[in-house]
Structure 1
Amino acid sequence: MSSKVVLITGTSSGIGLAAAVAAAQAGWLTVATLRDTGRADALRKAAAEAGVELDIRQLDVTDEASVAAAIDGVIADHGRLDAVINNAGAGHLGTLENESVAEVRKVMEVNFFGVLHVSKAALPHLRASGGRLITVTSVGGVIGQPFNEAYCAAKFAVEGYMESLAPVAAKLGVSVSVVEPGAVATEFVNNLGLDLESEVAAAGPYAEPLQVYVDRTISQFLNGAQTPDEAAESVLHALTAARPAFRIQTSQWARDFVGTKLADLDGSAVLGLTGTWVG
């Protein structure tokens, strides 16, 4: 009961896995959650190699009953909750004319409403502990990116929600931060579950700009991506720093990229940049 307790969502791979191991190494009692505990082998292996123990539990961020059960279980077993790291999310590639509104809603359900489900359930306990609410968003939560309309909309929504919540939560003793990675060499892209060649072939009038975008993005992930461990260092900073900033980028590239938007009053700099991504 003496260790601080952090719950992390989406820990089967990538940043979530690395953050769970890093938090445990930093002395936190780490509750590592994932939608399907059958996919926890990599997480268990990483913890064993690091010589740390994790409390691995099931949590589906889109299922309010699953969220409530997980949070209640942590309080019942550990007596407290000092931090939550909302990391679970899902990528999406598409553009408005070629996808249904139902598909867009599904992206919002995972990437936005999932964050709200977990945060709402955790807040009473974070108030009690004077804790921290940390959400892994994306540079795509600041700059809209071609063929990522739904994904960026969800991440924009998360950033707006948390930026609005932060001063309110601070009055009640809860620190709120968002962590903004750029390209990270994780399973995230693979987890899109897309046959990119088929996607381009079926894109109709959007085929040429989509192919240019796909080629650029694959090159970026292959040649300029951070490792999950590097990105997780920023998550750990948000968890452990005396007074973490609200907005934390995970690399100099991400800081420069986000800075373009924050200094761009009329949008011309951003659209001049992202326009080159589609030819």
Structure 2
Amino acid sequence: MDEKTALVLALQLVALFSIAGALLLYLLCKIRASSTDLLDGSTPGAGKPVLVTSADTAIGLQIAIHLANRGFRVFAGLKDGASTGSAEDSASSKVISAWQKHRESVQGQGVLVALPLDVTREDLLHEAVDVIRAHLPAGEDGIWAVVNTSGLSYRGRLDQQDNSHWDAMLKTNVVGVLRTARKLRPLLRNAGGRIITVGATEQLGAGLVAYAASRFAVEGASKALRQELAPVGIKVVTINPQGIMPELLFSVPKLSSKQGQEDTTVEMTGCMNYQPVVLSSRALHILDVALTSRKPKDNYSLEEKPWCKPFEILKIV
């Protein structure tokens, strides 16, 4: 091997090791930042109280169950309130009831409390605050987070859509967020908590003009709330569930049609089978970061990114 070839090979090796070293340093820094930025390690919830405004939606039920399993003290809003054990109970109510009964027989930190809540009704918001305060540990009077999962979505061409659909979406998707923020502000302030809102997504397709308007309104309101509430220590974070149709996000959960397997499912997972399940494991991990990071970003995308998948085991965010 002549000197010129050896020199070129040496430069290539140096460049390769430099790139590998830089990548390793980057990964170590990201892992360290992720681990030190979170409140705790394996159990980020650590009993912290969180309100999920609606478990009547697919995204809300999944988040409520997930956070309870992660150790949070979850208050799950249901328009029909807590389960009564009757056949007329909603699927969400039955899933929550099954989770509660299963948790009684196993060791676990999480708590899941169903309460009557409709973000369009001021009286139920007021009652929800009373219920939350009654279930807080002695000496505590704060809530760590409010996750706004209440939502409506109606698809239809603008020239054919009923005005009542527009009114309902704006009342629930936008005004509901504002009502909730106002009513829960004292509890959030006491705990230095945070508000999680659902923002806009790209490529919604035709027929969702009014829905998109409501979601972009939520993003605008979230930015303004972030500035207004920062002086009292309340953070406002927006999550963007990219690639998931709103009809799925805010659909009404239904129990699995596989009869006779629910008892086994509850025994194995603590939860009855239901559909649809709308968030991936990575999306739920990103939600955990948004909830537990000491200094959360303003926005998080819940979109699956193929280039991230090889590093998922390292929990890089």
Q: TM-score, normalised by structure 2?
A: 0.62
Residue 248 of structure 2: SS of its match in structure 1? coil
Contact 2:73 2:112 in 1 (8 A): yes
2:201 corresponding residue in structure 1: 139
Residue 239 of structure 2: SS of its match in structure 1? strand
CA distance in 2, matches of 1:190, 1:136: 11
Letter in 1 for 2:187: H
Deviations 1:115-141 (A, max 9, x none): 11111101121111111111123415x
Contact 2:57 2:149 in 1 (8 A): no
Residues 66, 132 of structure 1: alpha-carbon distance in 2 compared, 3 angstrom cutoff? same
2:299 corresponding residue in structure 1: 247
Residue 238 of structure 2: SS of its match in structure 1? strand
Contact 2:152 2:172 in 1 (8 A): yes
Contact 1:35 1:61 in 2 (8 A): no
1:238 to 2:290 alignment = yes
2:65 corresponding residue in structure 1: 21
Q: Offset of 1:26 from its aligned partner?
A: 2.7
1:62 corresponding residue in structure 2: 120
1:165 equivalent among 211, 215, 225: 225
In structure 1, the gaps of 5 or more residues are: 193-221, 255-279
CA distance in 2, matches of 1:128, 1:59: 22
Q: Offset of 1:190 from its aligned partner?
A: 8.6
Structure (1 or 2) with the greater helix fraction: 1
1:175 corresponding residue in structure 2: 235
CA distance in 1, matches of 2:52, 2:242: 20
1:42 corresponding residue in structure 2: 95
Query: CA RMSD for the aligned pairs?
Result: 3.0
1:101 to 2:166 alignment = no
Q: Offset of 1:114 from its aligned partner?
A: 1.2
Deviations 1:206-255 (A, max 9, x none): xxxxxxxxxxxxxxxx9xx964554333322211112111111002459x
Q: TM-score, normalised by structure 1?
A: 0.69
Letter in 1 for 2:157: T
Deviations 1:127-157 (A, max 9, x none): 11111111123415xx674210111111011
Residues 69, 187 of structure 1: alpha-carbon distance in 2 compared, 3 angstrom cutoff? same
2:310 corresponding residue in structure 1: none
CA distance in 2, matches of 1:145, 1:72: 41
Q: Offset of 1:175 from its aligned partner?
A: 0.8
1:31 to 2:75 alignment = yes
Residue 242 of structure 2: SS of its match in structure 1? coil
Residue 225 of structure 2: SS of its match in structure 1? helix
Aligned residue-pair number: 221
Contact 1:183 1:226 in 2 (8 A): no
CA distance in 1, matches of 2:246, 2:56: 11
CA distance in 1, matches of 2:96, 2:114: 9
Q: Percent of pairs identical after alignment?
A: 27
CA distance in 2, matches of 1:235, 1:20: 12
In structure 2, the gaps of 5 or more residues are: 1-45, 82-88, 253-275, 307-317
CA distance in 2, matches of 1:185, 1:94: 14
Contact 2:198 2:218 in 1 (8 A): no
CA distance in 2, matches of 1:127, 1:17: 26
Deviations 1:25-48 (A, max 9, x none): 332211111222332112333566
CA distance in 2, matches of 1:238, 1:190: 20
Residues 47, 15 of structure 1: alpha-carbon distance in 2 compared, 3 angstrom cutoff? farther
* Bigger shift: residues 169-178 or 20-29: 20-29
CA distance in 1, matches of 2:172, 2:244: 19
1:201 corresponding residue in structure 2: none
